[in-house]
Amino acid sequence: MEEKKKRVFSAIQPSGTITLGNYLGALKNWKFMQDEFDCIFALADLHTITVRQEPATFRKNIYDAYASLLACGIDPEKSPFFIQSHVTTHAQLAWVLNCYTQFGELSRMTQFKDKSAKHADNVNAGLFTYPALMAADILLYQADMVPVGADQKQHLELSRNIAERFNGIYGNVFKVPEPYIASKGASVKSLQDPTKKMSKSDENLNGCIMLNDSPDIIMKKFKRAVTDSDSKIVYAEGKDGINNLMGIYSTITGKSFEDIEAEFEGKGYGDFKTAVGEAVVEELRPIQERFVKYSADKAYMQECYSKSAEFAQKISQRTLDKAMKKIGFVPHA
């Protein structure tokens, strides 16, 4: 008998253009995970409104993000890929889990502290409680694993705590998910400050590569990338800029750091920056071409996210109904 595939749930916010860091750190792996796991993907648009959005821009960002992820290789025939707000169980279970999440737990979330500092004029309740919505996203699908980066480990740990607390009171309702750390993937840093993560909110536009940047812009940004006063292309402590470029090149080409050091022995930083830029351009070229195709076909995207939402509603409703029954709510007819 064929062994049942483990279920993986993952979501990304449609809060603007996707970066090279998002792609190499997570999205590139999502494509390959679909063959190994039972994957469910979502655009977490409900999470996005913890920061005030301009409606027309927000709507465009959702369409663009959906097209981008299809272009990166998500196949809705293999893996449901829905828009979070289209599946009502997420908001319903989030409220329930809010009541099983402690104030102290939420107040310790580092992202709440960071975002409160960035958006001091709009420190809303959603910003404080959105880890409960994140827990609902994951627990609704009885996920075995959740891909996490360093900045999400704390939230997954809280999701596990909430599940264990609820199960401790009511019995086995939620599967307690494990973190999934991809064997391949890169923590991509800013090209201008390689001690910080690459981010679309970087004030220096040269620090971040966007998935829709033209080849000319990509090459210019890599040529301006911060390095050090040495000229040797080796992976070593204190060489944050070169280490970052080597990580990007390694993730795209599959070459080890030793291979890269041998390939560029006797060559300078200029040669290496050009090679990394060219590798990125070629990696993103087919994605950019597919993005143009999907963006122009709203009917196809609508078909994909509508079918996926229907599937997600059906399976997540089972979990929600079970949780509500355990608590003592009267079932609807």
By the 10 Å C-beta count (0-12 exposed, 13-18 middle, 19+ buried), 47 is classed as buried
The token pair at 80 is 């449901």
Helix 269-295 with 55-71: angle, nearest 10 deg = 110
Paired tokens of 294: 């999907």
What is the SS3 assignment for 139? helix
Catalytic annotation present for 153: no
Can 60 be counted among the known catalytic residues? no
The residue annotated as part of the active site, out of 28, 115, 239, 273, is 115
Neighbours of 261 (CB within 10 A): 16
In the set 6, 31, 175, 200, the catalytic residue is 200
Indicate if 5 belongs to the active site. no
Contacts 24+ apart (CB under 8 A), 74-79: 74/30, 74/31, 74/34, 74/41, 75/34, 76/304, 76/305, 76/307, 76/308, 78/34, 78/35, 78/39, 79/34, 79/39, 79/40, 79/41
What are the residue numbers of the active site? 115, 197, 200
